[in-house]
């Protein structure tokens, strides 16, 4: 059965380098993961270049600590013509108890663009081709 917060799109383990001066994980690190999670979800809706146009909302509900397994789930909140608004929920598996805590919730708007950086309908056929990757495949 589908999880109400969507599929897992990213899973990471927090490291000492991720902390702020209070010893908890820096919000900017979590925001970076959220941005990646929104991209990962958007990419499932269209094989295009995607850019983040707006973080509509971000709520840090509870702290994240070093060494915790952090899971990001994403689902489509709304769609437009060229954009998809993605809801991202971040969970931390508490290191000592194994319990899952919802730590951050965000809403991120992604826009599909072409090679000239112009918005394109995200439901269009794939716009990435063999020349687009950084690695030869
Ligand atoms: C995203 C970008 C290409 C949109 O360009 P634009 O000229 O505003 O394009 P449009 O006016 O045609 O809008 C395209 C879509 O973006 C949405 N959009 C544009 N500006 C927006 C804003 N400020 N807030 C919310 N949505 C916005 C529009 O609603 C539209 O969605 P829709 O087609 O689903 O209705 C441009 O703003 C951009 O390049 N931004 C920088 C992206 C970036 O570098 N992100 C960080 C790294 S990934």
Question: pLDDT digit of tens for each residue in the chain (137 aa)?
Answer: 789 999 999 999 999 999 999 999 999 999 999 999 999 999 999 999 999 999 999 999 999 999 999 999 999 999 999 999 999 999 999 999 999 999 999 999 999 999 999 999 999 999 998 888 877 65
For domain 7-113, the CATH class is alpha beta
| Residue 8: how many other CB atoms lie within 10 Å | 14
* Residue to substitute in 37, 53, 116 for testing ligand 1 pocket (most ligand atoms within 8 angstroms of CB): 53
Give the residue ranges of DSSP H helices in the chain: 27-45
Q: How far apart are CA 36 and CA 39, in angstroms?
A: 5
Measured from CB, residues less than 6 Å from any atom of ligand 1 are 51-54, 80-83, 109, 111, 113, 117, 119
Confidence (pTM): 0.96
- Give, rounded to a whole angstrom, the gap between the first and last alpha carbons of the chain: 35
Q: Coil, strand, or helix at residue 24?
A: coil
Contact 103, 62 (CB under 8 A): yes
Choose one of 40, 111, 121, 124 to mutate for the ligand 1 pocket test, by most ligand atoms within 8 angstroms of C-beta: 111
How many Å lie between the centroid of ligand 1 and the Cα of residue 76? 17
């Amino acid at each position: 059965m589908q999880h109400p917060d969507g599929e897992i799109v990213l899973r990471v383990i927090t490291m000492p380098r991720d902390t702020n001066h209070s010893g908890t994980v820096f919000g900017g690190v979590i925001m970076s993961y959220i941005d990646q999670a929104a991209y990962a979800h958007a990419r499932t809706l269209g094989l295009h270049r995607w850019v983040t146009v707006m973080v509509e909302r971000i709520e840090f509900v509870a702290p994240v600590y070093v060494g915790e397994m952090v899971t990001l789930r994403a689902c489509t909140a709304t769609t437009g013509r060229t954009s998809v608004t993605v809801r991202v929920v971040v969970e931390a598996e508490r290191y000592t108890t194994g319990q899952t805590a919802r730590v951050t919730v965000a809403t991120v708007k992604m826009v599909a663009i072409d090679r000239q950086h112009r918005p394109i309908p995200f439901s269009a056929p794939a716009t990435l081709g063999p020349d687009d990757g950084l690695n030869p495949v």
